[in-house]
Structures are given as C-alpha cells and as structure tokens.
Chain A
Amino acid sequence: MGLGLPKFIPEALRAVAKRPFTLMYPFERREPPEGFRGRQVFDLSKCINCGICAMDCPAFAIEMVEVGGKRWPKLYMDRCVFCYQCAASCPKNVISSSKLYELAGTSRSKLVMAPEPPAVGGDRA
C-alpha cells in the first residue's frame, strides 16, 4: 500500500466535491486579460505609408497595397502569428491589439484585413 494512497484519497475527494475544472467552451467563455495579443486593430488615420510593418513581419503576413494612390498595409490573418512586431516597428502607433481570438473562417479570402484608408471610406477597425 504505502504512504501514497491515503494522501491521494483526500485530494481526490476534494476534487470530486468541487465543480469540474474544465471550462465548458463555447457555452462558458473566459475574458482574456488586458494586453492579450488578439487580432490587430489598424488606425489608418495615423499611417504614414512607410511599409516598415511589412518589412519586419517574420511571417510575411503584411502586404502594402495601393489604395487611392498611396500604399496601405493589408494583413493576411492566415499567415499572421500575432507576434506584434508590426506594432513595435510602427513609428506612428497605428497598430494596437484587441481581445478578439475567435478568428476561424470558412474561406481564406475572408481571413484578410484589407485596408480602408481615411480618404476612401473610414478607419478600419
């Protein structure tokens, strides 16, 4: 028998008496903490079209595309690893984080954040 078994019994009884530790996702959801690295938010009103975010992205997930005569960042979420080097590199703090993490989609074309610059439509959020 040994000493181990009796020690586990009160531990096991305690675990049975409490509710299960498992979170019943998706019926129960936990709020991510502040600063969680979820999906990016671009505030293009500050963007100066320098392209450093695209240059520094380790996953090659940002492409500078031309809209209205200037280059703006387009983010491919299926390549992105959410490291936020783009946010660190950006000289104007265009990119910030959000708590969105449920980003699955049914087609690759939907997993793209195309830029909507201020002159054309509005801020892309």
Chain B
Amino acid sequence: MGTADLIIGPQHPALHEPERFVLKLDGEYVVDVVPRIGYVHRGIEKAAELRTYIQDTYLVERICGICNVSHSLVYVQTVESLQGTEVPPRAAYLRAVVHELNRVHSHLLLLGVVGELFGFDTLFMYLWRDRELVMDVVESITGNRLISAFNVLGGVARDVDQSQVKEAKKAMEYLRGRMKFYKKAFAEDPTVEKRSKGVGILKPSSALDLCAVGPVIRGSGIKTDIRADDPYAAYGEIPFNVITYDTNDSWARFMVRVDEIFEAIGIIEYALDHLPEGPIRARFPRRVREGEAVGRVEAPRGELVDHIISKGGDKPYRFKCRTPTLANILAACEMIRGGQIADVPVSLSSIDPCFACEDRLAIIDVSKGERYSARLRDLMAKYGASR
C-alpha cells in the first residue's frame, strides 16, 4: 500500500507559528515527516553585527516575546563573560527572579495552548486567567507585561522596593494554590490522559542522540538542567529540584512543565527572601575587548546558547544564537513517526515550539518555496528507526 502526503502549514489552525510539515501517511498512521522551517527569518544574526552592544541588548529580546528574558540574559551574560565583568549579587538575584517569572508565564501559556489543542477550552481559559497574575507582577517589576528590558550589560535596569517584593510574594502564594488544582487536572483528568499518555514517545537514547533539550529531554528521564549543571545568575546559591518524568510521552513533558512551575515559584520566593543589599549595576565599557565567549541558559523551552566573537570595538564581530526549538525539531519528528495524525498537534506542542525563536538567521525577501524534497526521510531512516 502506497503512502499519501498530507501537508500541514505554513498556515494551519493546529499550529501557532508558521512552519510546514509534510506527513507521509499510511492510513491513519504517520510513516514519516519532513519539516520545513524558515518562514519567519528576520536576519537577527546579521543585524546584530551592524549594531552596538548596547543596542543589541534590545534586539535580542525581540527574537522571541515569550522567552525574551532568557534571550537578553544569555546575551548580557556572554558579553560580560567576554569582558570579564562580575555583576553585583543583588543584580544576580533579581535576574533569577525575573527569569523564573518568565518561565512561569511561558509554561502557563503552553499548558493553556495544549488545553486548547485537546479541545479542553475551559482549562485554557482558566490557565490564561491565572497567568494574568504573573503578567501583573512582571509589569510592576520591569515596567511592561511582556518585553521586560530588564537585563542590561553589567546588571539590571531597575531595582525593586519592599512593596513590589510583597506584591510578588502574595501573587506567588496565590498561584501556588491554583497550580495544585491544575496539577490535579493534568495528572488525573480523563481528557488529558487520553490525548497525551502514550502519545509521542521519545526514547531516552533517541533524545540523547538527537541532542534534545529542556522539558523534552527531561520528560524522557534524563536529569539535566543548566541551572543545576552549569549555574548562572544566582542559581548556584538557590536550592531547587530538577524535574524529570520517565514515561517518555507527551504527558511526561507536560507534567515536567507543571512541576517546573512549582519549582519556579519556590525559587522566586527564596530569591526575594534572600535579596542581598548593594548596587544593581556594574560599570560596563562601550568598547568590549577582543575574545570570544559562549553563554548558556535554561530558557523555558530548553538550552539557549549564545556564541559571541569580538575583535575589539563597540559592535560584535559575530553573534550566534541557537534557540531550543531548533534542537528539538529532530526529536519532534521522531515523536511523530509511528503515531496517528490526530496525535500530531499534541506531540508538536509538547516540545513547546517557538519558531519565531528558531528562524532568526538571514535577511530574506520572503518568498515561499513551492518545491521541496523529502530529504529528512533519509536522516530519519538512518538515525531514527534503528535506535
């Protein structure tokens, strides 16, 4: 029996960002999948070379709105490591607080989106209603709901006072109570169970070979988290747990995120309780010395890597950013193969795809290609099925 091709995208109600997947179907089952990315290229790596380090701080935030704190954090950390500047301890703690707030809002967003994909709109609406609380806290601390502009070269842009700390802790306590309800919903609700348990299996060996990152690899039982293994900001001093689940399916990846929200709430409360006194910003020169540096942070979706090469001067020579969704695409294809079509949206959303993050490479006059070939099939056949 031959296979039929089903094209999903670039515009499709089941996908939230433009990408194209060509599914090769045998009846209801997906035999193979060919992804195509590149629809939202904006030329950020090239653009970063044309702007100064100060201007680039705000350019990299706009790689992705949802995880903008992670992008600006890894950028400023990399440039600071290049220059050899240490940030003051208070700034390190504040960076951790806002970073975790970003993680909470991002995970809540994804869990809501996943609820919508299940057809469980009530869960979606309730999750996003409670997410508004986090947006209010971020607005009070950074001045804006989403794009925070909080991390600057040398420290953070603004300080927090007692009333903001109190407001944040009150919100976190309320949110923890709400999360207990949502954890029960995700762990025990029959709709969620039927749509996500056993769906999108990713074996630990495949996850390691395909270099998956973030909740995707932690949902396959591998205990790795940059905040614990390669600490940055204040994470070396804040106790928290690395969450793993070992059922290797989409349900595990969602539960990892639910539990990470609990951990994030704990980290925020600890950091706000232990905020050291002192300045929030160290002096940082306009011209950065020659050298190169590699920075990594644990963005909500996984490992976010920056590599900056400087030849002296006020503009970077090379800015390279690898976002977590690019690392998870091969894992996503592996998850979809062998499953049913109806499971494709759930599996795809379980990697928390952020294609805006992913396609930030060259400047393009965008024109969508009409011709593609099934080349990834060879890769999948070689590395996917045999493992």
- Please determine if A and B sit in direct contact within the complex, based on CB atoms under 8 angstroms apart: yes
Residues of A within 8 A of B (CB): 1-5, 7-8, 11-12, 15, 21, 32-37, 56-59, 81-85, 88-89, 97
The answer for the CA separation of A57 and B192 in the assembled complex, in Å, is: 47
Asked if B152 and A88 sit within 8 Å, CB to CB, the answer is yes
A17 CB to closest chain B CB (Å) equals: 14
Cα–Cα distance between A85 and B126 once the two chains are bound (Å)? 36
Assuming A35-B140, A83-B147, A97-B143, what are 13 further A-B pairs, CB within 8 angstroms?
A4-B184, A4-B185, A4-B192, A12-B122, A33-B139, A35-B143, A37-B143, A37-B149, A56-B52, A58-B56, A82-B144, A83-B58, A88-B152
Shortest B144–chain A CB gap in Å is 5
Contact of B140 among A33, A57, A82 (CB under 8 A): A33
Whether the Cβ atoms of B58 and A4 lie closer than 8 Å is no
B189: interface (CB < 8 Å)? yes
Q: Is the CB of B190 within 8 A of A2?
A: yes
By a CB distance below 8 angstroms, the chain A residues around B62 are 81
B52, B54, B122, B190: the one contacting A1 at CB < 8 Å is: B190
Question: Given A7-B184, A36-B139, does the pair A85, B190 have CB atoms closer than 8 Å?
Answer: no
In the complex, what residue of chain B is closest to A5 when comparing beta carbons?
B190
Quick check: B51 and A4 within 8 Å, CB to CB? Answer: no
The interface residues of chain B lying within 8 Å CB-to-CB of A1 are 190
Residue of A nearest to B123 (CB): A8
Main secondary structure of the interface of B (DSSP, over half): helix
Contact A58 B192 (CB under 8 A): no
Does B143 contact A88, Cβ atoms closer than 8 Å?
Answer: no
Write out the residue numbers on chain B whose beta carbons fall within 8 Å of the beta carbon of A4.
184-185, 188-192
Chain B proximity of A122: nearest CB distance (Å): 28
- Contact across chains for A56 and B143 when beta carbons are under 8 A apart: no
Could you tell me the distance between the alpha carbons of A21 and B189 in the complex, rounded to whole angstroms?
Answer: 24
User: Which of B126, B143, B147, B188 is A2 in contact with, Cβ under 8 Å?
Assistant: B188
Question: How far apart are A59's CB and chain B's nearest CB, in angstroms?
Answer: 8
Find the B residue at minimum CB distance from A4: B189
The 5 closest A-B pairs by CB, nearest first: A4-B189, A2-B190, A37-B143, A58-B55, A58-B58
B376 interfacial by beta-carbon distance below 8 Å:
no
Choose one: B51, B56, B149, B185; the contact of A84 (CB below 8 Å): B149
Inter-chain contacts of B139 with A (CB < 8 A): 32-33, 36
